[in-house]
Amino acid sequence: MNERLKCVVGNQKETIERKNRATRFLKAFQAELLAVTMFCLMAPASRAASSLTFSPSSANFGSVAVGHSSTITVTITNSGSGDAQLMSAASQSNVFSISGLTLPMLLLPGQRASMTLTFSPTSSGSVSSSIAFAGRLASGTYSVSGVGTSSSSSSGGGSSSSSGSSTGWSLAATPSTVSFGNVTVGQTNSQTVQLKNSGNASVTITSTATSGSGVSLSGMNTPFTLGANQATTFNVNFSPTSAGSVSGSFSIYAPNTTVSDAVTGTGVAASPQLSASPASVNFGNVAVGSSATQRVTVTNTGNASLTISTVSTMGSAFSPSGIASGTVLSPEQSATLTLTFAPKSSGSASGTAVVASNANRASISMSGTGTSSSSGSSSSGSSGSSAYSVYLSWNPSATSGVVGYNVYRSTNGGSYAKIVSSVTNFNYTDTSVQAGGQYSYAVTAVNSSGQESSYSNEISATIP
């Protein structure tokens, strides 16, 4: 199956045919070249540093009843300027578990991934632990904490027969304490609570009540009857109207009995924040009459939604696309802005892209050089160096035991020749290409014994 990708090489746009190729080599360590991006650079770039950041910065589950569980979704962001190759994530305590994260994973600068953390306490008491991340050019730990609690109960309305068998009912609410942590002012968070009658007689729930600013109940209409050994669930809601801590409660009333639980939470001021990554782009040399594009990730890094009002550029050779006015970004949500440089004359050009919102403005510096069509490539005389380079990147092999990758190149339709061995990253820049050449590339995976997989699919580039 063929898949067509667009890439920019030098000063021209070329269409790349990606083709699957297989050979007689070992299939057990096959690498898949799923995502390949090519750029024409004036000089090979030095390796940049990656940096993992998390939102929220730590996970506090509050109080969770023993035998129950609570989940928190965490966003992982590569906020550095280099690729982050994440290989493993491990919980340091068996009461915390990880789901939703497929490893190994390659995070490009500005790229995000999410995981779900679950706290399932097995006993009462506080627990503090961490999630350990490891990989090539990316590592770190993430703090997690929670409190295991036992359920609170109240019973009544019962009597005993002469045989001693109980004829009463018993009510219990689980969890015994509802803790919301931080909630943005103007937003509502909900937690589910179970009410169970563990006795052998029915009981009528007559009414409910709450205390504390922003605390309310939903999903329970009174009066109703809860049968013997039956349970029902309802929601406790926290909707802070101002910043600050709230200590409240809810109560459930039955004849001669009240079941009450504490409710705590903290209202935090709404603070949406718009950011752009990268904050500057350089288009390099672009021939007059042609164009080049760069992509920028625009993210709401705050705790409340924001609305983008305008996207504009300053500099006649630059233009924006990809984000419309009125776009709403929720917390941690991103959108992609495409910037285009189309020089109308030779010489250096600079400008600024501005993304404005009801929260703040994010600015991106832009630069590039317009060149005449005859100066798209240059020669360095006897030094033999190339003004062009081809950047390759690939997804890591899913096969265990892989310790590196070999890169092969075919020049002007010839046979493959290995140009580099044992690459431990997931990218490589070929700086030995020449103007007017046609090149094809493939990658193989290598294990610790030196055994090599078959070729990945092929990718091609034509240098102008």
Task: Tell me, yes or no, whether 283 lies in a domain.
Answer: yes
The residue segments making up the domain with residue 205 are 151-157+168-268
Task: Tell me, yes or no, whether 31 lies in a domain.
Answer: yes
Pick from 121, 137, 145: nearest CA to 56: 145
pLDDT of residue 176: 85
pLDDT of residue 130: 92
Residue 320 sits in a domain whose CATH number is: 2.60.40.10
- DSSP state letter for 37: -
Looking at the fold, whether 264 and 278 belong to one and the same domain comes out as: no
Looking at the fold, whether 344 and 300 belong to one and the same domain comes out as: yes
Among 345, 375, 405, where does a domain finish?
Answer: 375
pLDDT digits (tens, 9 = 90+) for 359-386: 899 999 999 999 885 444 333 333 344 4
Looking at the fold, whether 59 and 142 belong to one and the same domain comes out as: yes
pLDDT of residue 64: 66
Among 316, 351, 375, where does a domain finish?
Answer: 375
Q: Specify the residue for token string 């000063």.
A: 11
Looking at the fold, whether 199 and 141 belong to one and the same domain comes out as: no
Looking at the fold, whether 421 and 453 belong to one and the same domain comes out as: yes
pLDDT of residue 437: 85
Output the CA–CA distances (angstroms, integers) from residue 321 to 8, 69, 273, 291, 348, in the order listed. Answer: 18, 44, 21, 14, 22
Please say whether the beta carbons of 71 and 62 come within 8 A. no
Q: Is the pTM of this model over 0.85?
A: no
Looking at the fold, whether 34 and 75 belong to one and the same domain comes out as: no
Q: To the nearest whole number, what is the mean pLDDT of the chain? A: 79
3-state secondary structure 388-451: CCEEEECCCCCCCCEEEEEEEEEECCCCCEEEEEEECCCEEEECCCCCCCEEEEEEEEEECCCC
Looking at the fold, whether 75 and 22 belong to one and the same domain comes out as: no
Instruction: Provide φ and ψ at 110, rounded to 5°.
Output: 85, -10
Strands 84-91 and 417-423, by their bridges, are unpaired
pLDDT one digit per residue (tens) for the chain, 464 residues: 333 333 334 433 343 343 344 344 334 344 443 333 333 333 344 456 778 888 878 887 766 667 776 677 788 888 888 888 888 888 889 999 999 888 888 888 888 888 888 888 888 888 999 998 887 766 788 999 887 766 444 444 433 222 223 447 889 999 989 999 999 888 899 999 999 999 888 999 988 889 999 999 999 998 999 999 999 999 999 999 999 999 999 999 988 788 889 999 999 888 899 999 999 999 888 888 888 888 899 999 988 899 999 899 888 899 999 998 899 999 889 999 999 999 989 999 999 999 999 989 999 999 999 988 544 433 333 334 445 778 787 788 878 888 888 999 998 888 888 888 878 777 788 878 888 888 999 999 988 888 899 888 888 888 87
Looking at the fold, whether 263 and 180 belong to one and the same domain comes out as: yes
Task: Tell me, yes or no, whether 383 lies in a domain.
Answer: no
pLDDT of residue 356: 92
Looking at the fold, whether 279 and 263 belong to one and the same domain comes out as: no
Task: Tell me, yes or no, whether 395 lies in a domain.
Answer: yes
Task: Tell me, yes or no, whether 46 lies in a domain.
Answer: no
Looking at the fold, whether 35 and 98 belong to one and the same domain comes out as: no
Task: Tell me, yes or no, whether 180 lies in a domain.
Answer: yes
- DSSP state letter for 44: P
- For the chain, how many structural domains are there in total? 4
**Cα separation of 400 and 51, whole Å?**
25
Please say whether the beta carbons of 430 and 390 come within 8 A. yes
pLDDT digits (tens, 9 = 90+) for 136-173: 766 788 999 887 766 444 444 433 222 223 447 889 99
Task: Tell me, yes or no, whether 207 lies in a domain.
Answer: yes
Q: Tell me which amino acid residue 244 is.
A: G
pLDDT of residue 373: 56
